[in-house]
Structure 1
Amino acid sequence: MAQTNWTNLATAHAGGIAVELRRYDLPAPVEMVVRETQPVVSMMLPPYPIQRFGRYEGAGGDYRGLGNIVFTPAAADCQFRGDGGQPLTISCLFDADLFDRVTRIGDGWSRCRLAATLDVGGTAGGAIDSLLRRMAEELRTPGFATETLVEGLGLAALAELSRFLHADGPAEPRRTGQLSAVQLRRLDEYVDAFPRRAPTIGTLAGLLDMSPRRLTTLFRDTTGLTVRAWVEAKRMEQARRLLTDTDLPLKAIAYDLGFANQGVFSTAFRRVAGLAPSTYRDRYR
């Protein structure tokens, strides 16, 4: 298995919390075991790898697709495999005492709880996403009181992570004739995980074990959107992030998002954003 090699591009420390902007250097494809010395919540930054899978050594079970946000407990052997390359992450490391005091998990790492750490999603994932992106911005362009900002964002991320790890109660009820929040999250995370593949309605319906016609009806009744319009909006949101957060050429962004060529991507983006991709990048990055 490959060694876990990364370079810290930027680091900040405050109050039992460390934040690192990491650039990994991995063979392609890659299979490796990661053992962190501290509890770490990490989020992928663009450009995103296409395939990433993980499982915990000794916890049993097959490899599972990884979410964009992953939590790794201290001293746990987590097995990863995927495309390799040089992915970029923002990683928030917590002092062990601080982590134990806030989460109150102790030794309560059941197989179910460990499996949940491979994909920190839902409401907690959305909140942690925003917090970690703000940390990444601060590391790239630090300003006054960076340590105070990092500590505050880190504590907020730890609180959201604690809620996620303790969310093992019954699933929330859903209204009759509508998709549940859990079902919507599954669709959302699937589209985020495979940006190069614009999924068919049949594929998305299969994720929820229902017919395409039923998904089409329930999705419209729940969100007010058609499935196709929602998928298109998700791809355009991914395009906005790649345009403002990276220096990738437009041709590469078109490929990453599954468009046939740069022209098709530019036409679709202009239709939604009202601007050509190059103009949007110049104005908003």
Structure 2
Amino acid sequence: MDTHAFAQLVLPLGGSMEVDLEGHGAWLDRTRAAFVAPTARHAQSSGSANQFLVVDVGAEAMEGRVLERLAARRFLPIGPAAAQLIDYMAASLDDDGVPQRAALWLPLLLDAVERATPGPASRLAALLATLATQPERDWTAADMAARVGLSVSRLHAVFREELGSTPQAWLSERRMERARQWLIDSRLPLAEIALGCGYADQSAFTRAFARVVGLPPAAYRRRAQASRQGIRES
């Protein structure tokens, strides 16, 4: 868990990421941002490529009442106005004069995210919950589409609209998240982790994990557990 004295806005550009704020967790994607209040404990993880714009916000940059309201909400829906402003900010990062323009962006951005109201419930909500809790199943696109009453092509379109991803890519992220958690927190054999995360065998799991994380599962487990032991001993 990290903490810092300033606030942060974590704004989605692409992909998804799991964030924990003071024990409250949520997935961030193109439909949801996060507000990290000063001194709030937070952590994040993701098993696949993603892109987020993180804006540091000093206490002097917002009214105390605004800070309190955003801190209480933690996770913020991204409406059309906020999405357009975020995309514009991201496209301008390589231009000269960004610090000066950032001072103008911030009030508009804070206003946009604070005014945004949650949209209708995602058409994929029930499916995503099932995939997240049962990533080990041999899910096909047809299985997923049947769950939500859509055609396979329409399912892919909705995934792109709501998550900027594909059904199988999103499922792979959840499998990687489970694998990483089990490697860190358990002593389960790699073969058992492979099956529990939906891979045909340990070899397939090792190849997929190394491709995404950059380390084989065994090496990742050794590094993660050694790091945790170092923290405990310090």
TM-score for both structures, normalised by structure 1: 0.37
What is the TM-score normalised by the length of structure 2? 0.45
